[in-house]
Amino acid sequence: MTESSVSGKIRVLSDAKGHLIENIDTDQIFHNAHLHITEVDKMGTYAFGNLEGWKDFPQKSSPGDILVVGRNFGAGSSRQQAVDCFRSLQIGAILSPSFGAIYFRNAVNSGFPVLRSLELTQLVDEGKLETGDDIRVFFLSGKAQISSKNLSFHILPMSDVQYEIYRAGGLYSYGKTWNQD
């Protein structure tokens, strides 16, 4: 079996000083005013609609982009839309030092790649990881490569469960193939 990976252009969610924005909560990602929206296709328009400096994200992002975000990303409520708005924009993956616990679960259950690396903060601060870099992230070996810079760093490999749900395309599909004992 060849290992799954995802590649794309990095988009760093940073503040005016170039540091990763930490503690971005679900109301900043997908504001509660839009919670009545249930179709994934329509959610992309509202991604980061309440995050100062990033309200034009849906226009700026391109399908396949890989987001690099600050620690405790997705803190707050349990809303699934805060994950699905990125699926709607066909974002390839989100990398963060850490995620809110419920947010991480929701992303895994949607079959959307969320990956953790404690090296991200320093790499961004030192200017080694920048918007526009081409990155490839390997889900199982815990490796990320930026070919243009001959740079690689560690990520936490996906757990078996996360990988299996990802491969199945989400928790529901995974459960349907599940041979329960």
The contact set with other proteins (CB under 8 A) reads: 27, 38, 72, 75, 77-80, 98, 101-102, 105-106, 109-110, 159-162, 165, 170-172, 175, 178, 180
Q: CB 50 → other proteins: shortest distance, Å?
A: 10
Cβ of residue 10: shortest distance to other proteins, in angstroms?
A: 25
The least CB distance from residue 142 to other proteins, in Å, is 14
Query: Going by C-beta distance under 8 Å and a sequence separation of 6 or more, which residues neighbour residue 122?
Result: none
The length of the chain in residues reads 181
- Residue closest to 58 by CA, chosen among 77, 73, 43, 76: 43
The answer for residues whose C-beta is within 8 angstroms of residue 52's C-beta and 6 or more apart is: none
Q: Which is nearer to other proteins, 109 or 131 (CB)?
A: 109
91, 95, 102, 80: which is closest to 30 by C-alpha?
A: 80
Q: Considering Cα of 11, then 15, then 19, then 24, what sign does the dihedral take?
A: negative
Q: Of 17 and 176, which CB lies nearer to other proteins in the complex structure?
A: 176
Residue 44 or residue 97: which is nearer to other proteins going by CB? Answer: 97
User: In angstroms, what is the minimal distance from the CB of 176 to other proteins?
Assistant: 8
Contact 157, 141 (CB under 8 A): yes
| Token digits of residue 118 | 């404690």
